[in-house]
């Protein structure tokens, strides 16, 4: 068994986010413009997979909707009821910058449930690892409010559920979305059974979270690592972060499963981030996690789609990740990858930021686990 699972549902593309210039409905003050978070980025990834015959090289996993009980492992029942009521009417805003139209409640349940379905397929041995191309995204959503285009915290909800399964006692979440994974962090801030690691652009969004000093609290202190990277970081900075922090942390923690909050908005062509990753950098990071998963947890690796707003470039990053996951070749050649410069190599200010994060985050994890880095 060496197959890679793939979660997709057409309804994910029917989640409506409206106009980028205001919450639903369109105000009339400015020429309408499609919201940054729209179906096109993800749909173009699926279309590219289909066009190159890559989709059938993966094992399709049908998503089941998450139950309200599963959602409430992370969110308050009041918040869930509020989203359900708004969705049954005209839609609305789940909190801060999280607009949605009618019917998005059921779609959001299917997104969180799709991640759980993928996790179960891995644990039941149907697939070795999986990619969940779900929408809406999840990693900013907090217990009682949606934030940053996210309604339900897909990765956190799935992690809570998978921890109930036999043999899964500790999970590591690696979040390389260009924005801080505040929602996932908050779901496990006092929980030593889930190691959360977020690589993100320093002080991008949310504005005052994701600091290196935020290492967790109570029993969870030491089990949250933030790596805020300077704007302009490229493949060199991300590789250095993996070598200096991510892989050593996984080696210390020894997870039973690795989940990835996969934001493709750290790409060099993303309109909402200021990083410089190319598709082959995402491929390399995935390969390192495939190897870490092999070393620690029989290859159990679940990659969950989060942000990524360059409709032209997201597809190339996404398919590169899936190639590394599956070992299958799509035949796609990234037409943008030739645009690499020395600025994508590790710079001194980036190296200093990574070492600062390592000295706090990695050392604290090691101390908590009573080992030496
Ligand atoms: Zn993002």
Task: For 197-258, give the DSSP string.
Answer: EEEEETT-SSTT---TT----GGGTTSEEEEEE-TT--HHHHHHHIIIIIHHHHHHH--SEE
- What is d(CA 18, CA 38) in angstroms, rounded to the nearest whole number? 8
Q: Determine, yes or no, domain membership for 273.
A: yes
Sequence-distant (6+) residues with CB within 8 A of 303 are 129, 130, 131, 132, 259, 260, 262, 286, 321, 325
- What is d(CA 261, CA 139) in angstroms, rounded to the nearest whole number? 7
Residue 114 CA to ligand 1 center (angstroms) comes to 20
Residue 327 CA to ligand 1 center (angstroms) comes to 26
Number of residues written out for the chain: 373
Residue 263 CA to ligand 1 center (angstroms) comes to 6
pLDDT in tens, 144-157: 999 999 999 999 99
- Whether the per-residue pLDDT at 67 is higher than 80: the answer is yes
Preceding amide of 206 cis, omega within 30:
yes
SS3 of residue 276 by DSSP: coil
Inter-residue contact 209 to 180 (CB < 8 Å): yes
Neighbours of ion ligand 1 (CB under 5 A): 177, 179, 263, 265, 307
Q: Determine, yes or no, domain membership for 158.
A: yes
Residue 274 CA to ligand 1 center (angstroms) comes to 11
CA distances from 292 to 145, 242, 256, 296, 299 (A): 34, 11, 11, 6, 8
Residue 277 CA to ligand 1 center (angstroms) comes to 14
Helix residue spans in 63-171 (DSSP H) = 68-71, 77-88, 104-123, 154-162
Q: Determine, yes or no, domain membership for 373.
A: no
pLDDT in tens, 172-221: 999 999 999 999 999 999 999 999 999 999 999 999 999 999 999 999 99
Q: Determine, yes or no, domain membership for 201.
A: yes
Residue 91 CA to ligand 1 center (angstroms) comes to 22
- What residue numbers bound the domain in which 167 lies? 4-368
SS3 of residue 326 by DSSP: helix
43 pLDDT band, cuts 50/70/90, is: very high
φ/ψ of residue 322, rounded to 5: -70, -30
Burial of 255: CB neighbours in 10 Å, binned 0-12, 13-18, 19+:
buried
Catalytic residue list: 140
pLDDT in tens, 1-19: 459 999 999 999 999 998 8
Residue 19 CA from chain centroid, whole number: 24
Number of structural domains, the chain? 1
27 pLDDT band, cuts 50/70/90, is: low
Residue 181 CA to ligand 1 center (angstroms) comes to 8
Sequence-distant (6+) residues with CB within 8 A of 91 are 16, 24, 99, 100, 101, 102, 103, 104
21 pLDDT band, cuts 50/70/90, is: low
CATH number for the domain spanning 99: value is 3.40.800.20
Residue 207 CA to ligand 1 center (angstroms) comes to 13
Q: Determine, yes or no, domain membership for 313.
A: yes
- Whether the per-residue pLDDT at 22 is higher than 90: the answer is no
Q: Determine, yes or no, domain membership for 67.
A: yes
């Amino acid at each position: 068994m060496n197959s890679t699972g793939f979660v997709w549902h057409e309804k994910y593309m029917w989640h409506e986010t409206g106009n980028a210039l205001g919450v639903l409905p369109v105000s009339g003050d400015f020429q309408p413009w499609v919201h940054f978070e729209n179906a096109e980025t993800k749909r173009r990834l699926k279309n590219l997979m289909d066009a190159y015959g890559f989709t059938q090289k993966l094992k399709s996993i049908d998503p089941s909707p998450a139950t309200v009980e599963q959602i409430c492992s992370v969110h308050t029942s009041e918040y869930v009821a509020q989203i359900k009521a708004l969705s049954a009417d005209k839609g609305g805003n789940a909190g801060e910058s999280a607009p949605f139209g009618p019917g998005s409640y059921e779609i959001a349940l299917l997104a969180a449930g799709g991640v759980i379905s993928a996790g179960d397929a891995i644990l039941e041995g149907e697939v070795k690892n999986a990619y969940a191309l779900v929408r809406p995204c999840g990693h900013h959503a907090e217990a009682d409010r949606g934030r940053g285009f996210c309604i339900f915290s897909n990765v956190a909800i799935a992690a809570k559920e998978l921890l109930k399964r036999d043999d899964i006692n500790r999970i590591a979440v690696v979040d390389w979305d260009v924005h801080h994974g505040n929602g996932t962090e908050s779901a496990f801030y006092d929980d030593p059974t889930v190691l959360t690691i977020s690589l993100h652009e320093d002080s991008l969004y949310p504005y005052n979270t994701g600091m290196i000093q935020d290492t967790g609290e109570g029993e969870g202190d030491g089990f949250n690592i933030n790596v805020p990277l300077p704007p302009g970081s490229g493949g060199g900075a991300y590789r250095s972060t993996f070598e200096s922090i991510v892989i050593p942390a996984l080696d210390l923690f020894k997870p039973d499963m690795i989940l990835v909050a996969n934001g493709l908005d750290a790409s060099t062509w993303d309109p909402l981030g200021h990083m410089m990753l190319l598709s082959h950098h995402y491929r390399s990071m995935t390969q390192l996690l495939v190897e870490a998963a092999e070393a620690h947890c029989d290859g159990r690796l679940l990659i969950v789609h989060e942000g990524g707003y360059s409709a032209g470039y997201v597809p190339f990053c996404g398919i590169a990740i899936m190639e590394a996951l599956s070992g299958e070749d799509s035949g796609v050649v990234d037409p943008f990858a030739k645009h690499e410069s020395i600025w994508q190599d590790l710079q001194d200010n980036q190296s200093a930021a990574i070492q600062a994060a390592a000295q706090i985050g990695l050392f604290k994890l090691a101390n908590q686990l009573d080992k030496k880095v």
